[in-house]
């Protein structure tokens, strides 16, 4: 309780403003000479302020402050990409990686190179040829998270290099999601999706991705959208014996139904390929 005068030996507790935390000894004691014995204390910020970004950049989610561990994504209008990383995480009182004041949107190099060609290709006279990952992808392009089948690891790659490798028929890289690789439920499902996709009868190119039996390609976003389980085809040769959620009941489901249920963020345990024995 704050007051004007304190007796010798009395202690006061130092507290920090909202958004900061006290680090060190928080108590000061009134000494006989009328001064305070001061502990070693400082107030450290536990939130990051919303960064100031240049016009044209969209910040998601849009908040005044962000807690430690929260991330933001910066995006540009269609046809443009950020000339730098797109995802940043609040670490104490600053963003990681640091957000450059000169960060801005620029014309997508992939759009400029490909002309009337397919993704991963470039115009060479009247022909379309595959881009070179080394020669054509030195300029910054959008970051995407991919899975390398050879090393069994996921990594952040430039979209330009990924599409160029895909055009050159390099099948070792699989698209996971847009942005830098981040641990979490989305990444876990994306890695499971690659395993399930090996048995898919449908492989439809869609933007960076490939859509499988339990998905359809959205023309507006160039991304794969999950079907609702009732919308799945019936029957098929690729069937599995599964358990859904916390249920102990075994159920036979085809590959579309397994993918659609898992895509809806429900737990699916694949017991074995083929129909349930019971």
Interatomic CA distance for residues 60 and 91, integer angstroms: 17
Cis peptide preceding 97, ω within 30 of 0: yes
Q: What is the CATH number of domain 47-107?
A: 2.10.70.10
Interatomic CA distance for residues 226 and 263, integer angstroms: 6
Are the beta carbons of 80 and 108 closer than 8 angstroms? yes
Cis peptide preceding 130, ω within 30 of 0: no
pLDDT exceeding 90 applies to what percent of the chain? 29
pLDDT per residue over 12-45, tens digit each?
A: 888 888 778 888 888 899 999 989 988 788 888 7
Taking 90 as the threshold, does the pLDDT of residue 274 lie above it?
A: yes
Query: Partners of 147 in the beta sheet?
Result: 154, 174
Q: Given pLDDT bands bounded at 50, 70 and 90, which one contains residue 115?
A: low
Q: 113 versus 263: which is more confidently predicted?
A: 263
The mean pLDDT of 161-172, rounded to a whole number, is 86
pLDDT per residue over 242-252, tens digit each?
A: 999 888 899 99
Q: By 3-state DSSP, what share of the chain in percent is helix, strand and coil, each rounded to 5?
A: 15, 35, 50
The mean pLDDT of 104-116, rounded to a whole number, is 68
Res 138: pLDDT: 75
Taking 80 as the threshold, does the pLDDT of residue 1 lie above it?
A: no
Q: Domain 11-45 belongs to what architecture? A: Ribbon (2.10)
Q: Domain 114-182 belongs to what architecture? A: 2-Layer Sandwich (3.30)
Q: 171 versus 113: which is more confidently predicted?
A: 171
Domain ranges of the chain: 11-45, 47-107, 114-182, 184-278
Count of CB atoms situated within 10 Å of the CB of 112: 12
Which 3 state secondary structure label does DSSP give 256?
A: helix
Q: Hey, what's the torsion of the CAs at 13, 16, 20, 23, to 10 degrees? A: -30
Please give the DSSP secondary-structure letter assigned to residue 231.
Answer: G
Check if CATH label 2.30.30.110 holds for domain 184-278: no
Q: Mean pLDDT over all residues of the chain?
A: 86
SS3 string, 174-226, reads EEEEECCCCCCHHHHHHHHHHHHHCCCCCCEEECCEEECCCEEEECCCCEEEE
pLDDT per residue over 203-261, tens digit each?
A: 998 988 999 999 999 988 888 999 999 999 988 889 999 999 888 899 999 999 999 99
Comparing 47-107 with 184-278, is the CATH topology the same? Answer: no
């Amino acid at each position: 309780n704050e007051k004007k005068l304190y007796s010798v030996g009395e202690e006061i507790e130092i507290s920090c403003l909202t958004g900061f935390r006290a680090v060190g000894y928080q108590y000061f004691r009134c000494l006989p000479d009328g001064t305070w014995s001061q502990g070693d204390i400082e107030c450290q910020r536990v939130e990051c302020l919303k960064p100031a970004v240049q016009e044209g950049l969209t910040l998601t989610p849009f908040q005044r402050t962000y807690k430690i561990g929260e991330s933001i994504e910066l995006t540009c209008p269609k046809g443009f990409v950020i000339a730098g990383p797109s995802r940043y995480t609040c670490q104490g009182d600053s963003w990681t990686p640091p957000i450059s004041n000169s960060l801005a949107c620029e014309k997508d190099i992939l759009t400029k190179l490909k002309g009337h060609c397919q993704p991963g290709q470039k115009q060479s006279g009247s022909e379309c040829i595959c881009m070179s990952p080394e020669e054509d992808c030195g300029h910054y392009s959008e970051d995407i998270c991919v899975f390398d089948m050879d090393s069994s690891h996921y990594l952040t790659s430039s979209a330009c290099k990924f599409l160029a490798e895909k055009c050159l028929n390099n099948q070792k890289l699989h698209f996971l999601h847009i942005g830098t690789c981040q641990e979490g439920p989305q990444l876990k499902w994306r890695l499971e999706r690659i395993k399930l996709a090996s048995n898919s009868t449908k492989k439809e190119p869609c933007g960076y991705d490939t859509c499988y039996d339990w998905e359809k390609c959205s023309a507006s976003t160039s991304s794969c959208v999950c079907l609702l389980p009732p919308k799945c085809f019936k029957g098929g040769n690729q069937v599995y014996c599964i358990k859904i959620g916390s249920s102990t009941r075994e159920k036979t489901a085809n590959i579309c139904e397994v993918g659609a249920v898992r895509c809806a963020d429900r737990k699916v345990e694949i017991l074995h390929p083929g129909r349930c024995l019971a």
